[in-house]
Amino acid sequence: MLDCGDGIRLTGLHTPRAGALGLVVLIHGWEGSHESSYQYSMACALHRDGYSVFRLNLRDHAGTHDLNEEMFHSARMAEVFGAIRAVQVLDAAPALFVVGFSLGGNFALRVGMQGPAAGVYPKLSIGISPAIHPRHTLEAIDSGPRIFHGYFLDKWRLTMDLKSEAWPGRFDFTRHRGSKNFIEITKFFVEDYSEYETLEDYFERYTLTPQMLMDSAAPLAVITARDDSVIPIVDFDGLYVRGSVLAYDLTAHGGHCGFIEDWALNAWTESRVLQLLRQAA
């Protein structure tokens, strides 16, 4: 349980390592958690290679809907910085690294971009299948394979149930439940339960452009795939290994946070992340 400041609490799982090469904070995707398979597998690879690991749970994830009254949204960076500072108090590893997946990849990249101004200094922040343009991602979910749309819709409906149970009488999701379109669902959410006046105001808070990434205050790396059905590859047009972007891996295949390389279901991203961390150190 982390005190993130301003009465906000987040949770996560800390796996320390004696004589660690560094501390790696992992950030899951939307509606994921520290138990997501990609988180667990990456944590195992990192720990075996000599790193301490903290798998951070974002607000309202991993069953923590009762910890904070206000709902999670993707612009809540202050509490993520507060969480990372709290983790660094727990673990005095010599270097900080941040790795995120999907929406967590967006958060990880923002830690590199905005962290130094908030007193957080990562050696490297890595976004894996990062959702850098939220409108495009939601449009892709709405128009893409039904398996992805159904998965996220079921997860979101469960979140509404759990938040309502945790804070009786606080939330009314009546109109939210009537929509299956994620752009519309997000518009309703912004209007009802965020501090932003419009959907575009909200999107602007966490839309990242290639130029913004290359101008980051701290080093970044991006790993994504052309066949990702959730993250349009056009979002990365104009991104190069330049400025603060130390690596940009664009693979032909990999899907969304998959990158499976063999029949044993090993993920290529794990060995690549270890390589990037060694280079950064």
All domains in the chain, ordered by first residue: 2-134+206-280 (3.40.50.1820), 138-200 (no CATH)
- Residue 224 near residue 252, CB atoms below 8 Å: no
Q: Which residue has the tokens 């128009």?
A: 143
Q: Which residue has the tokens 């959730």?
A: 230
pLDDT at 208 over 90: yes
User: pTM to 2 decimals?
Assistant: 0.97
Q: pLDDT for 246-266, tens place per residue?
A: 999 999 999 999 999 988 888
Locate 179 and state its tokens.
């929509």
Query: Rounded to the nearest 10 degrees, what angle do helices 134-143 and 199-206 cross at?
Result: 110
Q: pLDDT for 161-202, tens place per residue?
A: 999 999 999 999 999 999 999 999 999 999 999 999 999 999
Q: What is the pLDDT of residue 212?
A: 98
Q: What is the pLDDT of residue 147?
A: 85
List the one residue out of 24, 78, 67, 62 whose CA is nearest residue 46.
24
Q: Which residues, 6 or more positions from 102, have their beta carbon under 8 angstroms from its beta carbon? A: 29, 30, 32, 128, 129, 130, 131, 230, 231, 256, 257
